[in-house]
Structure 1
């Protein structure tokens, strides 16, 4: 049997959220219980960028495509996990050239972020020059193990460069236990009509 990795962050009220912002924390409320209703039901208040999620172009591009317009066939496919745990700050083009990205590659970037126990305001991110390289190489998608693909870049050039090139962006992929190598990925966002992102369950199977 193939080894299967679940690289999805569990969603709970005390989970890691971007910049520890209170408004990004999920909230759960019991709306029915057994003593009163004979069943148990729960209501969830959830930011669409919570935990492991997939961004849609609308997140950064006015008039951009929404998450329900993303063809999920683009997310059930081969991927490569790249070991970038030696990078301490930003992933630059020179860090990626050694892996020789090819057209239609879907790359998951494993960094020290996967080992963080709490939100790190100095998390490893993808710099603009790296985004340009990925766009020029015509990769299909890129996933990162931080809750954001960029950090403090005015104008969000990494997101925009990738979206304008048609590159799928996945954030919050938990790669701590996943060795570098080739895998088969199943990454399914919810079809939230008109939304700019969606949480996703992401599984990796050995290729």
Structure 2
């Protein structure tokens, strides 16, 4: 049996969030006259571990319910980028051994720093536009980062990394917790909630590590 690593972060009202904080209400609670609990949540599509589909930045682009399954399921590589201070470049990707991978996940200092906080950090590690273009040029179809945005902090006015990846049909996974994951090759299973016609959705994500792999 493979070792299974869950990359998903818990969703709760005090969590790290972009925009509106998630909230919930109890519709039913277990009592002497009620046998079950039922909750109702109000969350953004970009809450927690989630996928950005191309339509996030491309008008008429592919939405989360139409993503190719072979983009989000298959062999994947976790890259050690913990030395990067702020922006992952093409040179960083080459040095980390990205060549030949179709699905990549960036393990950065975020997993043990910015991702563990309940409020947005002033800085974090993201993918720069040169890195995004390198991924596109080398046939990558899925890219994951361990923070609530793939974008590097200096580029959140124009969002060039998102624009490059989304225009090329690359699926983006954000808020992937890679703290307990070693760099190397795995089998990825990422299944976004199929919100029909929408640009993003929560996406429970697992990595399978096979013995001897």
* Alignment TM class, shorter chain as reference: over 0.9
Segments of structure 2 that go 5 or more residues without pairing to the other structure are none
CA distance in 2, matches of 1:80, 1:90: 19
| 2:37 alignment counterpart | 40
Please, which of 73, 84, 88 is the counterpart of residue 85 of structure 2?
Answer: 88
* 1:146, distance to aligned residue in structure 2 (A): 1.0
| 1:26 alignment counterpart | 22
8 A Cα contact 1:102 1:138, kept in partner: no
| 2:184 alignment counterpart | 181
Match status 1:62 vs 2:65: no
| 2:4 alignment counterpart | 4
| 2:134 alignment counterpart | 133
Q: What count of residue pairs does the alignment treat as equivalent? A: 203
Match status 1:52 vs 2:44: no
Root mean square deviation of aligned Cα: 1.5
8 A Cα contact 1:91 1:124, kept in partner: yes
Task: Give the direction of change, closer, same or farther, for the CA distance of 1:123–1:134 in structure 2 (3 Å limit).
Answer: same
Segments of structure 1 that go 5 or more residues without pairing to the other structure are none
CA distance in 2, matches of 1:60, 1:164: 8
Structure-2-length-normalised TM-score: 0.90
8 A Cα contact 1:104 1:140, kept in partner: no
CA distance in 2, matches of 1:103, 1:163: 20
Structure 1 segments of 4+ aligned residues over 4 angstroms from their partners: none
